[in-house]
Amino acid sequence: MTTMLDSDATTLSIDDATADLLFREARTVKRFTDEEVTDEHIAAAYDLMRWGPSAMNISPLRYLVVRGSEAKDRLNAYTMEGNHAGIQAAPVTLVLAADVDFHVHMDRLTPHAPGVGAHFASQPELSESMGRMNAALQAGYFITALRAAGLQVGPMGIADSAALDADLLAGTAWKSLFLVNVGHAVADAEGATRPRAARLEAHEVSRVL
Amino acid sequence: MTTMLDSDATTLSIDDATADLLFREARTVKRFTDEEVTDEHIAAAYDLMRWGPSAMNISPLRYLVVRGSEAKDRLNAYTMEGNHAGIQAAPVTLVLAADVDFHVHMDRLTPHAPGVGAHFASQPELSESMGRMNAALQAGYFITALRAAGLQVGPMGIADSAALDADLLAGTAWKSLFLVNVGHAVADAEGATRPRAARLEAHEVSRVL
């Protein structure tokens, strides 16, 4: 039976508190407490998000963990000046990246299409566009999963991705996408977030064929 | 206090059933029941995912709803033959796309940076790369939100995105990314899913600077 659905309450399979935590009340955080964020805590979020789908299961998302004043200074050589203080102050900053050599793992990740890794190895442009799109898709899972792991995030752009890659990602085929500061938000009275910005309505972003 | 975290149980802020629903047990679905999926049900998922962050809140994700045999035939002119039957059989197929003219909404979406829309209007290459990356990021939120709304998904690639855009998305600046079949899975004994493919471990996808 299909009925017209007129409220979230009738349609969601997660409870209201979870919908708020992951989506409705989740905010981009500008200021974090000093509480440490361990590699294990980040890995717990990764262990959730990795099950999300990507094209042929290529799973190209990678992340560089940047923690501590010296490493943050190295990172800030490639970020916008207005973001330097926020990056320095965050407990940890992740550089999310696409591994455009994802084909090296395809024998293991894509057993239903034997030999397809060699196809991608011979097509670097296709590998780059597929790698970037699917890593960005997985970044959406990762941000949601970090929140599911009780962390708050503040994503930020990179001023010069090519230069960052050549330095901090040297020796890999990783292409940086954007940064995510991760930690626990200070109280909002202390400037954790900006006023909530608007979003588009469903009828503005959708069409029916 | 920070302690070493050695299991999900100590780190997650969502319950195990929700972690399974959204991530750990969620599967790409190949076969759906005949149960209808309404536009309102999809909009309920959109109403969750739209709160996720994108660069400067540009929110470029758009979706085309394709339902019914005739519309599916039009769509299948641009998909791989091996996917035609699955697309026809799904209750609804969404074409996820990036609106590279996202700048037209920036006065409303980005009030903290007045006039920045004009900057993007004058830089079509930047708009296309930012639009595509951020729409793919939002697609990650959308897939998670569809699952949160009790739906199952089967993402699929597009064989010829440029041709699809010129036909089905004519009159817009939307650039198609990929498809998502949406519905309710048949029982697994009836072929809902393939065997679960492997994923990479956290230590394989991360480095510490």
> pLDDT by residue (tens digit) across B18-68?
999 999 999 999 999 999 999 999 999 999 999 999 999 999 999 999 999
What does pLDDT average to over chain A?
94
- The answer to whether residue A4 scores a pLDDT higher than 60 is no
Q: Which residue of B has its CA nearest to A61?
A: B205
Burial string for A176-186 (b: 16+ CB within 10 Å, else e) reads bbbbbbbbbbb
- Average pLDDT on A10-21 reads 93
Answer whether residue A37 is part of any domain. Answer: no
Q: What is the pLDDT of residue A6?
A: 45
- Average pLDDT on B64-73 reads 98
User: 3-state class of A64 per DSSP?
Assistant: strand
What does pLDDT average to over chain B?
94
Answer whether residue A180 is part of any domain. Answer: yes
- The answer to whether residue B8 scores a pLDDT higher than 70 is no
Answer whether residue B14 is part of any domain. Answer: no
What are the pLDDT digits (tens) for A48-80? Answer: 999 999 999 999 999 999 999 999 999 999 999
**A11 vs B41: CB contact, 8 Å cut-off?**
yes
Answer whether residue B201 is part of any domain. Answer: no
**B140 vs A140: CB contact, 8 Å cut-off?**
yes
pLDDT band for position A2 (cuts 50, 70, 90): very low
Residue ranges of A 136-175 with Cβ closer than 8 A to chain B? 136-145, 147-150, 153, 155, 157, 168, 172
- The answer to whether residue A140 scores a pLDDT higher than 70 is yes
- Average pLDDT on A168-184 reads 98
ipTM for the predicted complex comes to 0.95
B24-28, B76-80, B110-114, B178-182: segment of lowest average pLDDT: B110-114
Q: What is the pLDDT of residue A189?
A: 87
Give the count of beta carbons closer than 10 Å to the beta carbon of residue B88: 15
* Domain of A62, in residue numbers: 46-186
Closest residue by Cα to residue B42 from A208, A124, A123: A208
CATH number of the domain bearing residue B118? 3.40.109.10
Residue ranges of A 55-74 with Cβ closer than 8 A to chain B? 55, 57, 59, 61-67, 71, 74
**pLDDT over 70 for what percent of chain A?**
95
What are the pLDDT digits (tens) for A36-45? Answer: 999 999 999 9
Q: What angle do CA A149, A154, A186 make, to 5 degrees?
A: 75
What is the enclosing helix (H) or strand (E) of A66? strand A61-66
- Average pLDDT on B63-79 reads 98
**A199 vs B51: CB contact, 8 Å cut-off?**
yes
- The answer to whether residue A9 scores a pLDDT higher than 90 is no
Select from A23, A194, A199 the Cβ nearest to the Cβ of B145: A23
pTM, to two decimals: 0.95
Select from B2, B8, B22 the Cβ nearest to the Cβ of A38: B2
**B5 vs A44: CB contact, 8 Å cut-off?**
yes
Q: What is the pLDDT of residue B11?
A: 84
Answer whether residue B74 is part of any domain. Answer: yes
Q: What is the pLDDT of residue A208?
A: 97
User: How many CB pairs lie under 8 A apart between chains A and B?
Assistant: 278
Q: What is the pLDDT of residue A10?
A: 63
Q: How far is CA B83 from CA A112, A135, B77, B88, in A?
A: 15, 23, 11, 9
Answer whether residue A130 is part of any domain. Answer: yes
- Average pLDDT on B94-100 reads 98
Structurally, chain B folds into a number of domains equal to 1
Q: What is the pLDDT of residue B10?
A: 64
Answer whether residue A76 is part of any domain. Answer: yes
Answer whether residue B7 is part of any domain. Answer: no
